[in-house]
Amino acid sequence: MGIMEKMRLDGKKIFVTGGARGIGMNIARGVAEAGADVAIVDVDIDEAAKTAQQISADTGRRVIPLRADVTKPQEVDEMIAAVLEQFDRIDAAFCNAGICINAPAEEMTFEQWKRVIDINLTGVFLTAQAAGKVMIRQGGGSIINTASMSAHIVNVPQPQCAYNASKAGVIQLTKSLAVEWAMKGVRVNSISPGYIGTDLVMNSPTLVPLIDKWKEMTPVRRLGRPEELQAIAVYLAGDTSQFTTGADFVIDGAFTCI
């Protein structure tokens, strides 16, 4: 069997939180194209349903929409139960749901701080914990958390201390879970994208004026394309990454190198 065949995800059962749009949607599409059945998990069930229908039509895979708020333990547990009901097992879990609030630190409200931490860090823990319990019972699985290059550097000119802190926490959480579960067959890794030209970014009145600055600061002088995260997602979800755990993959056009 050649390497391309080994990279296939045929028969794998995977869920992606925050999967209705942006990076999550592209990860879901990538793993479906590689042969996996996928659950698109999002708070916006209507958009999740549209995304699931489109990916299924394009790939021929079984793709289902599920609603869950990752900050609420009961909803996370119900989502996991629904995935198991539909798929019988969970081979890979992409803990991707996240938000960013730009606000100067001296003006940021407690509610803003708490919302970012609750979704980006606590939500990742709750989702990874719930998926991890299933994978330990199964005898193995792969958890992939979406961190950010913002865990490694401080973004400018936008003020986003809560986001940066939350993503740094995701990386350390990833490492901690990887060590705890290493002998239980559960691999845990993170992906740290740089500036990615998702529809949200390219159509945001507040972010569009920053794009030229971001390009100037990025050595490759462009934003990343969402589909450029698919290959690492497929690798981490599959069997060729069995020795890869506790790692953070920075995909940022060399932004964090300077």
Q: Which residues are catalytic?
A: 148, 163, 167
Strand partners, 212: none
Residue 71 CB neighbour total at 10 angstroms:
19
d(C-alpha 209, C-alpha 97), whole Å:
25
- CA-nearest of 208, 201, 223, 192 to 100 is 201
Q: Strand, helix or coil at 15?
A: strand
What are the residue ranges of helices labelled H in 60-203? Answer: 73-87, 110-117, 123-138, 161-181, 199-202
Q: Strand, helix or coil at 14?
A: strand
Q: Strand, helix or coil at 205?
A: coil
